[in-house]
Amino acid sequence: MGDKFSESEQGSLQKVLVLDFGAQYSRLIARRVRECKVYSEIVPYDISVDEIKKINPQGLIFSGGPASVHVPNAPRCSKEIFKLGIPILGICYGMQLMADMLGGEVAETGKSEYGKTRLLAKEDTLLFKGISLEQDVWMSHCDSVKTMPVGFKSAAATESIQVAAMENSNNKLYAVQFHPEVIHTSFGIDILKNFLYDACECTPSWTMVSIIEKSIEEIKKKVGRNKIICGLSGGVDSAVAAVLVHKAVGDQLTCVFVDHGLLRKREAEQVEETFKRNFKINLVQIDAQERFLKKLKGVTDPEKKRIFIGEEFIRVFEKFACELKNVNFLVQGTLYPDVIESGTKDAAKIKTHHNVGGLPLDMDFKLIEPLRLLFKDEVRTMGEELGLPDEIVWRQPFPGPGLAIRIIGEVTAERLEILREADAIVTEEVKRAGLYRKIWQSFAVLPGIKSVGVMGDKRTYAYPIAIRAVTSEDAMTADWAKLPYDVLERLSSRIINEVSGVNRVVYDISSKPPGTIEWE
């Protein structure tokens, strides 16, 4: 994992590594550390000591995890880690593991604590310095530390457990049984800051301005005088990547926007207008609608759609790069969650996500991925800092294969038209209700069935439209958005009245998992 950084980044950047013991909160821990303006990265719990030395972090955080230290094969890190002299903060399972590995005793007390819990912190501790000693914290555990390892002192207790936090300041080891990363822990961020700034001696210097400056420097160095292209999708990631690279290398960059005919209403025009109005970036728009529709004729399988679209996109891209001549670099808007996902050893494939601007495997490009260390919210902050307009920065994500994976069954010009019109109404009404930014994604889906209705005393047999609106932090999990009834009512009435070929509107109330956000 150490190879995520270039050599110059390795040297100068203060980092804190989160060792992931399978916690659902590992990403959240990394994000909270970054909110404290310290760069943080997630690594597997079995990372080797040599690798850690190479990365040279200022601190380590052991995440929680579902296991108990007592079960066989419970995830354990190398014992040598404790000898490195790097400050460590153990959280939940991370605390129990620290206690167990250093000779303490972890017991199943039979008293599991879950949810909001009153904590009484002790005076003169590093973790609770400057924070109210009585506070609410978020607990989620069964096991707890019964006997601390030698050299530790208890730093907090709750009604059920004596050691709800512990410290060994000589060896810079700290641990909490609760979750400082979740917002329900009132002073969680302050506890993290105490660890980061006092124990690890980090300075809060990982700011957006510094990230931008650093990235521009890196890109300049990497690209030199070469030509570089960027597939622009109109979404926030590729737009931010393009503007950042443009700041670094100016006219050496050409952005390509491929209109594959699977876009939303007026999307191609909007992207061009926005970019031309706001930036002086070389932008080429390629109309490839016909060839994509031809390729998708008769295709109903979702995975085949994705693969065909991905391939076709690459061919269009390739042709353009050939015409431009001597293109050596390709910009991709890859984000940190994509990097984490691709590092997952055992994750089952659910969908082949095709990334527009995707990697043409058989082309001889070197990749520039300036956002590969950032979370989506950080990309949005960067976009704002770079002066991108709100309409791009706050755009909801849109999948590379576009409307094709929101049409169940064959993609035809007629069905695309129906979906496009319905989708435009969804966006318009969600925006009008002031909900667009609060919702992760909201869109229309065209199922491959028809149903009977009655309109103006006549029988109709037409398509339904399904509305999908979800809230999410990072698209890994999602909940269906509780849209107000009046918004749903307006959506239903407008879609049925204004979109010909539709006689019914349904609302998708599935969360992810077990559903996915898209229908295909």
Residues in touch with ligand XMP (CB under 6 A)? 306, 350-351, 353-355, 397, 399-401, 441, 475, 512, 516-518
User: What does the alpha-carbon distance between residue 223 and residue 22 come to, in Å, rounded to a whole number?
Assistant: 38
Distance of closest approach, residue 405 Cβ to ligand XMP, in angstroms: 6
Among 241, 96, 261, 75, smallest CA distance to 166 is for 96
Alpha helix (H) ranges present in 224-280?
236-249, 267-278
User: What does the alpha-carbon distance between residue 153 and residue 265 come to, in Å, rounded to a whole number?
Assistant: 63
User: What does the alpha-carbon distance between residue 333 and residue 500 come to, in Å, rounded to a whole number?
Assistant: 37
Q: Which is nearer to ligand XMP, 276 or 438 (CB)?
A: 438
User: What does the alpha-carbon distance between residue 112 and residue 139 come to, in Å, rounded to a whole number?
Assistant: 9
Distance of closest approach, residue 153 Cβ to ligand XMP, in angstroms: 46
| Beta-sheet strands, E only, within 306-403 | 327-331, 366-368
Name every residue whose Cβ is closer than 8 Å to that of residue 445 and which is 6 or more positions away in sequence.
406, 407, 408, 419, 465, 466, 467, 468, 508, 519
Half-sphere exposure of 180 (CA within 13 A, CB side): 33
Strand partners, 452: 461
Q: Which is nearer to ligand XMP, 320 or 440 (CB)?
A: 440
Q: Quick check: is 92 catalytic?
A: yes
Contact (Cβ atoms closer than 8 angstroms) between residue 141 and residue 119: no
Distance of closest approach, residue 303 Cβ to ligand XMP, in angstroms: 10
Q: Which is nearer to ligand XMP, 219 or 444 (CB)?
A: 444
Q: Which is nearer to ligand XMP, 347 or 350 (CB)?
A: 350
Distance of closest approach, residue 300 Cβ to ligand XMP, in angstroms: 16
**Angle subtended at Cα 147 by Cα 79 and Cα 61, rounded to the nearest 5 degrees:** 40
Calculate the alpha carbon distances from 475 to 146, 183, 184 in Å. 39, 19, 22
**Active-site annotation holder among 41, 77, 167, 179:** 179
Q: Which is nearer to ligand XMP, 64 or 401 (CB)?
A: 401
Distance of closest approach, residue 377 Cβ to ligand XMP, in angstroms: 14
Distance of closest approach, residue 326 Cβ to ligand XMP, in angstroms: 28
**Active-site annotation holder among 36, 77, 92, 200:** 92
Q: Which is nearer to ligand XMP, 282 or 516 (CB)?
A: 516
**Angle subtended at Cα 171 by Cα 170 and Cα 176, rounded to the nearest 5 degrees:** 100
Kindly list the catalytic residues. 92, 179, 181
